[in-house]
Amino acid sequence: MTQHPTIEDQVIDIVRKAHICDLEEVARQCTDLTWNQVFLAVDRLSRNRKIKLTPSGRGTYTLTFLPLQEGRPDRRSLST
């Protein structure tokens, strides 16, 4: 059975590659998802301190990948 990446995984991959990017750019790259799905994933990731969501102007937001903090397990190590 093939396991598909979660919405959060897709968002993290995009932000990790860019390190800093615009929320709208992430939504554009997730062609199979709605803007609402992307935003909810971003909200969850931000609350879990995996990415940082920063207002960067009127209605625009910047996403920043947060490197793993010491003592915080890597999500990849939990899936084994």
> Is 65 part of any domain?
yes
Cα–Cα distances (Å) from 15 to 1, 2, 6, 11, 21, in that order, read 28, 24, 14, 6, 6
Three-state DSSP at 32 gives coil
> Is 16 part of any domain?
yes
Question: Which domain CATH number covers 50?
Answer: 1.10.10.10
Q: What is the pLDDT of residue 3?
A: 78
Q: Which residues of 50-59 are buried (b: 16+ CB within 10 A; e: fewer)?
A: bbebeeeeee
> Is 25 part of any domain?
yes
Number of structural domains the chain divides into: 1
> Is 2 part of any domain?
no
What residue numbers bound the domain in which 55 lies?
Answer: 7-79
Q: What is the pLDDT of residue 42?
A: 96
Q: What is the pLDDT of residue 77?
A: 44
Task: Yes or no: say if 39 and 23 are a contact pair by the CB < 8 Å rule.
Answer: yes
> Is 1 part of any domain?
no
| Average pLDDT over the chain, rounded to an integer | 85
Note the pTM of the prediction, 2 decimals: 0.77
